[in-house]
Amino acid sequence: MQTIPVLLAALALSGQNAVVAGPDSYADVSAMRTAFTHVRSVVATERFNTGQTVVIKYAAPNRFHIMLRRSEILLAGDVEYSKQSGTLWKRARDGAEHQMLLMAAWQLAGPPELDIHQLFLISSLGTKNVAGALVRGYWLLDTAGAYEETLWINGDNLPVAVRISSSEQTISIHYTNYNASAMIARP
C-alpha cells in the first residue's frame, strides 16, 4: 500500500519539471525553418561576445539593412552599399560581398531543403516565457561538432531568441517586429 502514495508523489514532483514540447523536436525545428522562409520582414538584434551589437532589418525577398556602431551596409539582391558614419553611401565594386555570408547565417538550423537529421542532434529544452509569450526551446549540436545553437520558438513557429556558439565566438540574436511594414530602399 505504501508503493502507491510514493509513486504518486514521484509523479507529482516530476510533473513540476515536465517538458511541454511538440511530439518530435526535429519536426518542431523543421517547422521553424519552413515558417522562417515565409517571413516578409523582421528585425534581428545580434550581440557578440566581443561586446559588439549589430541590428539587421530584413525585408523580403532579399533586402538587408545592417547597422553597426560606426557604419551601415545595405544589401539589395546582388548589390551592396556601405557607408561610414557621416559619409555618403558607396556601391561595392565586387557586388554583394556579404550576401552569401548573411544568408548562410540567416538560415537557422540550416536550409529547409536539407535533411535536419543529417545536420544536427536536437534536444528539447522545454518551455519558458520570453517577453510574456510562451516559447519552446531546443538545443542543436552541429553533427560536425563545429557549433551549437539554442533556439526559442514562438507559437507561430518563428524564432524569438537564438544563441549560436562556436569555439571562436558566441552570438545572441533577438527577433522582433515579424511581418511589420518594412521597406529597405536602395540609397
Domain total for the chain?
1
Q: Is 7 within a domain? A: no
Q: Is 181 within a domain? A: no
Q: Which residues pair with 67 in a beta bridge?
A: 55, 72
Cα 47 versus chain centre, distance: 12
Q: Which three cell numbers stand for residue 125?
A: 529544452
* pLDDT tens-digit series, residues 124-147: 999 999 888 899 999 999 999 999
Q: Is 143 within a domain? A: yes
Place of cell 514532483: 13
* pLDDT tens-digit series, residues 75-119: 988 889 999 999 999 998 887 777 766 765 678 898 888 999 999
Model confidence pTM above 0.85? no
Q: Is 17 within a domain? A: no
Q: Is 118 within a domain? A: yes
Contacts of 135 (CB under 8 A, 6+ apart): 127, 128, 129, 152, 153, 154, 160, 161
Q: Is 9 within a domain? A: no
Q: Which domain holds residue 55?
A: 24-176
Q: Is 187 within a domain? A: no
Q: Is 6 within a domain? A: no
Domain with residue 97: its CATH number is 2.50.20.10
